[in-house]
């Protein structure tokens, strides 16, 4: 689904346009999410072939959503075939996020 939203530069009611624009974005996001398959964290672990997921609950939720989007776009088979690469990417991401500057 694609929507093109054009706003003229000569429009005087910018705050109203921003409000309508953010409303449309929320509405589209909600409709998209309603059609997505919601995977449980257990299903994600099964797809990745792992028994436990380290990290905070927020990090686990980000992983769940990442895999959920991959399944939605590319299918279960892609995740199953690419699980080693996906786990490598996850590990690399976690290392970068937890590095200290000092």
DSSP conformation class of 51: S
Rounded average pLDDT over 69-97: 91
User: What is the distance between the alpha carbons of residues 35 and 32, in angstroms, rounded to a whole number?
Assistant: 5
Q: What is the pLDDT of residue 18?
A: 56
Mean pLDDT of the chain: 78
Taken in order 92, 96, 97, 102, is the CA torsion positive or negative? positive
More confident residue, 96 or 32: 96
Residue 88 in this model has a pLDDT that exceeds 70: yes
The per-residue pLDDT for range 7-57, each reduced to its tens digit, is: 444 444 455 555 566 777 777 776 665 555 688 999 999 999 999 988 889
């Amino acid at each position: 689904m694609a929507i093109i939203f054009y706003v003229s530069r000569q429009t005087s009611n910018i705050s109203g346009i921003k409000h309508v624009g953010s409303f449309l974005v929320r509405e589209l996001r909600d409709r998209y999410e309603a059609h997505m398959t919601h995977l449980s964290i257990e299903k994600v672990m099964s797809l990745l072939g792992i028994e436990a997921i380290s990290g905070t609950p927020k990090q686990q939720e980000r992983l769940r959503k990442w895999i959920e989007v991959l399944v939605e776009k590319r299918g279960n088979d892609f995740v199953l075939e690419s699980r080693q690469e996906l786990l490598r990417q996850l590990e690399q991401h976690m290392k970068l996020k937890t590095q200290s500057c000092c």
